[in-house]
Structure 1
Amino acid sequence: MRIDLNCDMGESFGVYTLGHDEAAMPYVTSVNVACGFHASDPVNIVKTIRKAKKYNLAIGAHPSFPDLVGFGRRVMAASPDEIFADAAYQIGALMGICKTEGLTLQHVKPHGALYNMAEKDSNVAAAIAKAIKSVDPNLYMVCSCGSKMVEGAKAVGVKYVEEAFADRAYTKEGTLVPRRQEGAVIHDPKAVAGRVLTIIKTGKVNAIDGTEVALKPQTICVHGDTPGAVDMIKEIRTRLVQEGIELSPFGI
């Protein structure tokens, strides 16, 4: 049994430092690098990719709506053509910078509101999938487990993996509980590690209302920018290794 641990990174820009990228990198297997639309800038993208190279991590693009002020978490009334263009632009930028370091881009994972919209709307998901396939058909699309994202990826014919979140609560429908709702983020490292282990071994998780929800992920998202994030990632990795679960990028 094996699993990938992915983490959003490279979200610093200008004089602002966000997250604990290098401290978290030794404990994950894949990173999703911000492309400049919700966070980051060219210099920080290069720095992040070089750090990922140092730790031999698989690299993904983390495209979003063009929303620096709202950190990409605000819904935008973008057309499928606009979503396609914005995603293709960001994926191409990450791919180009990876090539300057002799690296290959592994995957694409939408960020924030774009991810949440794609999770529920197969047209949004298909627009992202079309952008991925147009830039490089070898790229994987990271999709929320059992969501409309999977439908969009299948319809377009793009490779995909399904993802579960370590520290985020789920609704009974299997979607993420909105961050503004109490209990949306789980902060106890041991509880989160146990939850991740249960998801991997049983393919199920308890939703916020106690309902059992089916999840069968090939990758688990951990966060590197929340309080105590690095300690939580360490706890998750330690628990999985103790249980004999292999940690490696899904693209291998």
Structure 2
Amino acid sequence: MHIDLNCDLGEGALHDAELMPLITSANIACGAHAGNLETMTRTLELARLHGTAVGAHPGYPDPENFGRKELRLSAYEIGEEVAGQIFILRELAGLQQMELHHIKPHGALYNQAARDPVIAAAIAGAVYKTNPALALYGLADSELITAGKARGLATAREIFADRRYRPDGSLVPRSQPDALIEDPAEACAQTLRLIRSGIADTVCLHGDGPHAVEFALALRQALSDAGIEIKRFTP
């Protein structure tokens, strides 16, 4: 058994250099919710150094709210926004002789796409238009995974190590006090349970938490102890 370990990077946190060698896929902020050309370039360089797969992490153009507030954009506008952000990172990656591996929406856009088939289809369409060989990362058993499959994209079903879930499989909103898991042991136990349930291709560990490196090390050890290999997602 194997699993991909991904992390959201290039968002202004202080742990990117320490986290990069511990993960297999990096989701790089594309300058909308966070980041800029300099941070994108620096994160790509780190990924190339450690052989980490790179993907675009497009979000709503709302840095004041870190892309975690739902914006009232049409499906067309969302598609154009996502495609534009992918294009920017793709061009920067090309300058370093690197190719994008996947796309994973960020924040409010990710959560909306998980439940709204129209938004999910707009994102899947933007990914397909940019490069149909790109994998689409989305919440396991969500509308985004369904839309990606409908477009013929490779899809990676994502679970979260450090977020709590509602009974319906959606994430507990960050506005609620129990949304985040702060105990590494609890995060590892949840991750192993979800992997063993057969719903996961990739595990997300957020890179902006104060204990992100500690969580990553604990998670890698727990996966190793369970006989689960950590390797990048391949369809």
TM-score, with normalisation over the residues of structure 1? 0.91
Please give the residue correspondences for 1:113-132 in structure 2 after superposition, counting only pairs within 5 Å: 113-132=108-127
Deviation of 1:146 after TM superposition, in Å, equals 0.4
Deviation of 1:190 after TM superposition, in Å, equals 1.4
Gaps of 5+ in 1: 13-17, 204-215
Q: Which residue of 2 aligns with 1:11?
A: 11
CA distance in 2, matches of 1:19, 1:7: 13
Structure 1 stretches (4+) deviating beyond 4 angstroms?
A: none
CA distance in 2, matches of 1:20, 1:144: 24
Equivalent pairs counted in the alignment come to: 235
Please give the residue correspondences for 1:139-150 in structure 2 after superposition, counting only pairs within 5 Å: 139-150=134-145
CA distance in 1, matches of 2:23, 2:152: 28
TM-score, with normalisation over the residues of structure 2? 0.97
Q: What is the aligned counterpart of 2:40 among 29, 37, 45?
A: 45
CA distance in 2, matches of 1:154, 1:54: 32
CA distance in 1, matches of 2:37, 2:168: 38
Q: Is the partner of 1:69 in helix, strand or coil?
A: helix
Deviation of 1:201 after TM superposition, in Å, equals 1.9
Please give the residue correspondences for 1:65-80 in structure 2 after superposition, counting only pairs within 5 Å: 65-80=60-75
CA distance in 1, matches of 2:139, 2:49: 28
Q: Residues 147 and 198 from structure 1, CA distance in 2 versus in 1: closer, same or farther, beyond 3 angstroms?
A: same
CA distance in 2, matches of 1:44, 1:60: 14
Read off the aligned partner of 1:176 and give its amino acid letter.
L
Tell me the C-alpha RMSD between the 2 structures. 1.1
Read off the aligned partner of 1:251 and give its amino acid letter.
T
Please give the residue correspondences for 1:99-138 in structure 2 after superposition, counting only pairs within 5 Å: 99-138=94-133
Read off the aligned partner of 1:65 and give its amino acid letter.
Y
Q: Is 149-158 or 44-53 further displaced after alignment? A: 149-158
- Aligned-residue sequence identity (percent) comes to 41
CA distance in 2, matches of 1:3, 1:120: 24
